[in-house]
Amino acid sequence: MKHILFVVLLSASGFVYANSACDKPRDDFDGLYCLNKVYQEADKELNEHYKKLQGQLDKNGKTALKAGQLTWIETRNKNCSKHEADGFYVNLDCATNITVERLRFIQDRSRECSSSGCQNSKL
């Protein structure tokens, strides 16, 4: 059975927790709980905005968006997780920050589609 260990590096990036009870985590496990909540919310928003953008695109745009998303997932996994003999490690701070960056990218593309038309070359 593989062990899963989440490595949490609470950065000084000033990331604000979504829950006021998470303003001052008491220990690493509270920090993990809080950061996981933030990650889940960012991932949920990313999925919602991805679907919205997908609905704005033509067939070629949808293909480009999907290819870009798969590449992004590979990059996220490569940069934010690792397999070692004693388990699988995930840096949730890294995963959260990369997910928020991707969310902003998707939102920007959606705004472009709404204002000046979709540009498949940017996907």
Average pLDDT over residues 26-42: 91
Q: Indicate if the pLDDT at residue 51 is higher than 90.
A: yes
Q: 62 or 8, which is more confident?
A: 62
pLDDT of residue 91: 95
pTM: 0.79
Residue whose C-alpha is closest to residue 123's, from 114, 108, 115: 108
Query: In Å, what is the CA distance from 37 to each residue of 19, 22, 26, 42, 82?
Result: 8, 10, 16, 9, 21
Percent of the chain surpassing pLDDT 90 = 72
Average pLDDT over residues 1-16: 42
**Going by CATH, does the domain composed of 4-10+28-113 fall within 1.20.1270?**
yes
